[in-house]
Every structure is written in C-alpha cells, then in structure tokens.
Chain A
Amino acid sequence: MYSFEVDKPGSVEAAVAALQIEEAMALGGGQTLIPTLKQRLASPSRLVSLAGIAEMKGVSAVDGVVTIGGGTPHATVAREAAGAYPALAALAGNIGDPAVRNRGTIGGSLANNDPAACYPSAALASGATIVTSSREIAADDYFQGMFTTALHEGEIVTAVRFPVPQAASYQKFEQPASRFALVGVFLARFAEGVRVAVTGASEDGVFRWSEAEEALNKEFRADALTGLAIAPENMIADLHGTKEYRAHLVSVMTKRAIRAVG
C-alpha cells in the first residue's frame, strides 16, 4: 500500500469536511478497498473512516420503509432486518463470509457498485432511495454502470431507504471462486407492480429486466416468462461463464425468485 493517514470523524459533517482534502477517500468497511490498496491500484492521501459515525449505523422499520444506515455492516442487516424485510436480510446474510459481513457496509457496497455485488440489485428492485450527505437519489437514477454511480466526489451514502414490498426474493448464483454473484436476481412485488433487478450479469452493471416486469405485472407466475429472454450481447463473458450462460441464468434465477415468492 502507498502511505496515507486515516481520519476517524465522528459525524457526517466532519467526514464530508475531511473528504474535501485532495485525494482523500472514504473508508467504509474496507472489504473491497483494502485489497485494492494492497494491489496499489489506488493511492489516496488520506482515508476517511466512516466507522465511527453513529448516525450512519442501524436498521429501523417505520411505515413500510426499512431504513439502513450507510455504515451498517451486512451482519447487522442480516440480523435486524430479518423481521421487516426478510429477502433483504437474507441477501445481506449471504454476502461474502461471516468475517466480511462483520465489516463490510451497505454504503460501501452501493458506493462501489461492483457489477457482481448483491446490494445494488436489492436497492434497484426495491425502488430504494439512496440518502447521501447532500441529497436523496432514487435507485433508478443512482446506478449508472459498472463501478459508476450518481455520487459526486466526497459525497457519502449515509442511509438507504427501502420500501418494503409485499413479497420479495433474491436468487444468487455464485461465481465459484469469488462467491460474488455470477448472476443475482432480486424480485420485489409491490401493490403497484413487480420490479426485477439483475446483478452480476451485465457489462452495464445492475439493471432492471423490464420485459420480465411487464410480463409479471400481467400474470405473476414463472410461466409468464416463457418466450422471454435476455439478449446475450451486453452480458459479461469471463472465465466463469459466457454471455449466453449468463443470459440463461438470468431467466432461471428470475423464475426461481417468482416461485420463491409464490
């Protein structure tokens, strides 16, 4: 790693101020950032740790909305959201491994927007609101492609508000080595309609499978997807799967999600 200092501000305001320094970077749980730093793929002058900001931690459920502080570790979400939003809790409880879940945070995951990360699919499928240090961003506007989001320099994800659907399921098919999603499908069924978000699959990062949503809004059963297919062109191809395989898995995982929510 290159040399840097670590700041540990106690408030969002102080963190935002600290991030004004040239080449400063926010440090969430560090589960992606620290391996990146070890490879010397980033050279921050200063890391601003968000771990000590109490206002960014915790899970609450009020009026059909689950709000998760941006600095909340996955393990806490898995535990504390289990009652209010079981599919989200299950997703959080299957990110990485237990030790990673004790450190990695939802804010860090959403800020990084890895194309194979789990959380972006939940945020997008739930129609979540990403609350930052300066504004609120609808999930539909937030994700802008692989590792790209609507966040500005120095902007911090302080909370995420998830409207709780009537029913939801996350189906993850793991990449055998990293255990990230080779394809992950989050399906959320609201009174207003069904939202299907897909992670792991696309070169454009997480996306909504709108054709599937339309079909399911007409008829909510796995058979409704018959004849629907994702075009392989924009899918990711790598060691672990071809474009065609990923496109196929999107269908399979979506059907499984439909069956899981009944």
Chain B
Amino acid sequence: MSEVRIVVNGVERVGVVEGRTLLSGFLRDGLGLTGTHVGCDTSQCGACVVHVDGQAVKSCTMFAVEADGRSVDTIEGQAAPDGTLNAIQQAFQDHHGLQCGFCTPGMVMSAAALLKENPTPGEAEIREYLEGNLCRCTGYHNIVKAILAASGQDVAAIAAE
C-alpha cells in the first residue's frame, strides 16, 4: 500500500492505494467520483477517459500510483462551479449527442482533448480521434455533430434533427 497525492479537478486528494489499484478505481471507489465509467477490460471502449496533466488517458489502463503527484481532470470537473455546462457538454445536449449516457463522460473528455489539439477539426478528424471511444446508442452521428458545433463550426447542413 502506498500513499498518493493527486490533484483531482483542482483539489489535492490524498489516498492510500495498492499497487494494482487502477486510476479509475481510485476515482470511483476511493473518491466517489463515479462519473468515470468502466466499460471494458481491454483498453478499447474509452468510457474511462480522463485527463492526466492535460492529456487524455484511459484511467482503467493506468495505476493510481502512476498518477501520484500529477493532476487529473474528470467529467465532474468540466462544468462551471455553479453547474453550468461547458461548451462541449452543452453542444452534446443541444445536438442529442448522448442517449444512455454511459460512454458520455469519456466522449466529452476525448472531445476536450481533441479540441485542445485541434480547435476546428473536420468530420474525418473527429471520427478518427474518437477511435478509442465506443458508443452503442447514437451511431456517432450526433456526437460528431456536437463536437463540430462545440468547435464553433456550422452544423446546419448536417442532416437530421
């Protein structure tokens, strides 16, 4: 067991973890931040994506001890303190970019990482960037549309509601 100090959503959190404790487990079980989801065990689905020192990582494929001394951002830290959704979250709601909501935290975190790297990605770039985020509900149509919209691009021409 070892102690970790991780700045989570801007607040330093201290915990005692096993070597095998995954970052996703520390967030969910240790800190009660259950917005980060676990949907697979082969590092493919992306429901667990968080940012470590600003970079998107799969928190189910990183040990909590590896995040010691680092800064982690999760879905819970994305909205403003008063609960106002950020631009990406709002675009997902505006464009119906989610249905069951299970993949959504990872999608939002991946979208945030993408827009940081590339503020106005094209459709193909968005689809490629989401390679590691599976969604079973939306068929991705409205997710891609939401990310285009969140980046300030016109989505009026994209078919359907």
Contact = CB atoms under 8 A, between A and B. Distances in A.
Q: Do chains A and B touch in the complex (CB under 8 A)?
A: yes
Interface of A: 1-6, 8, 30-31, 34-35, 37-39, 46-47, 49, 51, 75, 96-100, 102-103, 178-179
B46 A99 contact: yes
A144 B55 CA distance: 35
Contact of A34 (B43, B46, B52): B43
Given A1-B20, A5-B19, A35-B41, A96 B132 contact: yes
A163 B22 CA distance: 38
Contact of B58 (A1, A39, A99): A99
B66 interface: yes
Nearest to B131: A97
Given A5-B19, A98-B132, A99-B110, A38 B63 contact: no
Nearest to A174: B131
Interface string B26-64: 000000000000000111101001001001111011110
A39 B41 contact: yes
A4 B17 CA distance: 11
A100 B59 CA distance: 10
Given A30-B61, A34-B62, A35-B42, A100 B132 contact: yes
B6 interface: no
9 contacts: A5-B2, A34-B22, A35-B43, A47-B19, A49-B65, A98-B131, A99-B110, A103-B57, A103-B62
